[in-house]
Amino acid sequence: MSVSKSKVTNSILKSEKKSLYRFLALYITMITFLMLVLGSYYFSTQKQIMLAKQRATLSKYAYEQTKKLKALHHYFPEERTYPRDDRFKSAIYDMDFIKIFSLLEQKDIKFDKDIYLKNGYIHFVKILDNYYLGAKYLIIETEDSGVWLEVIYKKMAIYSLISFILFVSLGIFLAKLFIKPMRDSIMLLDRFIKDTTHELNTPLSTILANIEMMDKEVMAPKNIKKLDRINSAAKSVSVLYKDLTYITLEHNRSNEDEDINLQELIKQRVEYFDALAHSKQITFKLELSYSTIHIDKNKITRVIDNLISNAIKYNKRGGYIKLTTKEHFFSIEDSGIGIAKEKLPYMFDRYMRFDNSEGGFGIGLSIVKNITKEYNIKIETTSTLGKGTRIVLTW
């Protein structure tokens, strides 16, 4: 099994990343729209400037062509050859926009504009004061070289690149401001957890050691019940302590992978949690077949402990926990409170808790997710509010 080393903790939670991505998506959309609007305005402006420059030249051509039409008009019908020029092409139309004669490449004429660009051709429309040859409109046509367009595209590319870099830099700055409170709060909580871990070690070890040394045979029944409650509470704290230790220390150590008999390990962990489950009258249902997994024993223990601990913590009094193993398969199912469908994607987020009535930091399932990801173990969760949750691991 291939293993890729990964850190257990992330500085930003999944839900917070989603908010950040939404902000960035909205920001990029806005600057893209702004750049498109500015680009369109710049292109339109440059096009009008180009046409304004062309108007002087085409007006000169129109004046020369008008003189030739005047001469042809006077010598018509003896002279019937329409005047041509190598520098441009022309056409004449009557007052009803009916063509009299045309040499134009582009046939569709816009009589309501004096100059325009269409399909690579520039048209200049001149209204004739004298109806030479019955013409009211003279159209002068030249082919657009496209040089101005290349210049504009180059400038737009440069301006867009500079603007994009500036906007992206601003976006990164704003994003850092956006996530700084999240990072600060998580770092503060991380420091608190690290300090708490050091303080828990000695008293917890002392409590568990003294519980193990007590002789229940000489104790009164009511004291035995009190001791069982103390034992259950101590084991709950013990699971939390091991998670805290794993986050602050053990996730950085080298893996010691080996073939683990999952069937036997689960039996041991069920026995460990039996007192805690008994305190809520929860029954374990075991359907354990032989199954092995190649993994660090401490890490798979953390996975199993957290899944069982959560199943007990969020279960109903008098409920059950069903554990099943087969080759390359492990599932845990409980009769607990369940999780709403819209919250399922966030259940493995660090510090995420769905029921504030229960204790804990909300780190157990985050550890589960990161360990399973490290060992390429697929994890699937189904849950129904009021009915329970089922988690399946396959590898």
Residue-level length of the chain: 395
The set of residues, in sequence order, having a beta carbon less than 8 Å from that of 355 and lying 6+ positions away, is 314, 337
At 68, which amino acid appears? K
Residue 246 within any structural domain of the chain: no
Identify the CA nearest to 216 among candidates 229, 207, 206, 225: 225
Write down the pLDDT at residue 249: 63
168 falls within a domain: yes
Q: How many other CB atoms are there within 10 angstroms of residue 18's CB atom?
A: 13
Decide: 140 and 130 in contact? Cβ < 8 Å: no
165 found inside a domain: yes
CB 355 within 8 A of CB 365: no
Would you say residue 336 lies in a domain?
Answer: yes
CA–CA separation, 305 and 364 (whole Å)? 9
Report how far Cα 153 is from the mean position of its chain's Cα atoms: 32
Residue spans of alpha helices (H) in the chain: 14-75, 147-213, 221-248, 262-278, 297-313, 364-374
Low pLDDT (below 70) residues in the chain: 1-17, 186, 189-190, 193-202, 204, 216, 232, 236, 240, 244, 247-253, 350-362
**Residue 383, in any domain of the structure:** yes
Model pLDDT, residue 114: 92
Inter-residue contact 249 to 287 (CB < 8 Å)? no
CA distances from 82 to 97, 101, 131, 384 (A): 19, 8, 15, 87
- Domain match, 377 and 277 both: yes
Q: Which of 174, 190, 206 is the last residue of a domain?
A: 190
Task: Look at residues 33, 1, 3 and name the one whose alpha carbon lies nearest to residue 255.
Answer: 3
Q: CA-to-CA distance for 235 and 246, rounded, in angstroms?
A: 16
Into how many domains does the chain fold?
2
Last residue of a domain, one of 137, 156, 190: 190
Q: How far apart are CA 103 and CA 63, in angstroms?
A: 17
pLDDT at residue 1 in the model: 39
242 occurs within a structural domain: no
In a domain, 43, yes or no: yes
Using CB atoms within 10 A of its CB, is residue 337 exposed (0-12), middle (13-18) or buried (19+)? buried
Distance CA(114)–CA(53), nearest Å, equals 13
H/E segment holding residue 391: strand 388-394
228 inside domain = no
Same domain as 145, residue 16: yes
Output the pTM of the full model: 0.49
Instruction: Please enumerate in sequence order all residues whose Cβ is within 8 A of that of 282, keeping only pairs 6 or more positions apart, or say none.
Output: 312, 315, 317, 318, 319, 320, 321
Task: Provide the pLDDT for residue 5.
Answer: 37
Same domain, yes or no: 38 and 121? yes
pLDDT on residue 199: 65
CATH code: domain of residue 302: 3.30.565.10
pLDDT at res. 202: 65
Q: Residue 341's domain spans which residues?
A: 255-394
